[in-house]
């Protein structure tokens, strides 16, 4: 098996491995175990021309980054702006208000954070569910 340095050299120097050419599938290219742990790195997401993730078997897998083929649609842009707005609203909450969302999440045995709970209610605007959660968890969610 090739070491990680040899793989990176081969990929970066071999024109047949570019993302624009049809080639052998490098989808499940795996480095030797603990390669990145020795360097103190936990890699996930995009890094240079590659996308990295951890498989269910806790192996690091990488493949060529797949750039978008077209610009975002108006609906995609609108949804991304909604998430940005919800994140900005979260930042404006006081520590007490944030703690209330964390408590509500814990008391309701939800497997999400207070932040995710807040974003959910900001995006769905489900007032009835918000009031039910407040009543069941004895919290005040603004």
Distances from the Cα of 127 to the Cα of 17, 35, 115, 141, angstroms = 52, 49, 17, 11
Query: What confidence score (pLDDT) does residue 68 get?
Result: 87
Query: What confidence score (pLDDT) does residue 60 get?
Result: 81
Q: Say how many C-beta atoms besides its own lie within 10 A of residue 100's C-beta.
A: 21
Contact of 118 with 90, CB cutoff 8 Å: yes
Domain map (residue ranges) of the chain = 4-64, 74-137
Is the pLDDT at 45 greater than 60? The verdict is yes
Q: How confident is the model at residue 41 (pLDDT cuts 50, 70, 90)?
A: low
Contact of 43 with 36, CB cutoff 8 Å: yes
Q: Is the pTM of this model over 0.75?
A: no
Query: What confidence score (pLDDT) does residue 24 get?
Result: 43
Tokens, residue 108 = 């309701």
Q: How confident is the model at residue 2 (pLDDT cuts 50, 70, 90)?
A: very low
Q: What percent of the chain has pLDDT over 90?
A: 51
Q: Which of 64, 67, 133, 57 is nearest to 101 (CA)?
A: 133
pLDDT digits (tens, 9 = 90+) for 68-104: 899 999 999 999 999 999 999 999 999 999 999 999 9
pLDDT digits (tens, 9 = 90+) for 104-141: 999 999 999 999 999 999 999 999 999 999 999 999 99
Distances from the Cα of 87 to the Cα of 6, 35, 70, 105, 118, angstroms = 42, 35, 26, 18, 9
């Amino acid at each position: 098996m090739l070491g990680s340095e040899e793989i990176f050299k081969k990929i970066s120097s071999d024109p047949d491995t570019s993302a624009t050419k049809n080639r052998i599938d490098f989808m499940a290219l795996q480095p030797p175990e603990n390669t990145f742990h020795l360097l103190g790195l936990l890699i996930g997401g995009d890094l240079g021309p590659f996308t990295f993730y951890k498989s269910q078997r806790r192996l690091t897998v990488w493949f060529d980054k797949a750039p978008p083929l077209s610009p975002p649609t108006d609906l995609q842009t609108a949804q991304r702006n909604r998430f940005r707005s919800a994140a900005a609203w979260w930042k404006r909450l006081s520590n007490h208000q944030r703690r209330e969302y964390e408590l509500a999440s814990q008391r309701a045995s939800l497997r999400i954070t207070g932040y995710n709970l807040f974003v959910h209610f900001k995006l769905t605007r489900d007032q009835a569910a918000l009031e039910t959660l407040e009543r069941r968890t004895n919290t005040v969610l603004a």
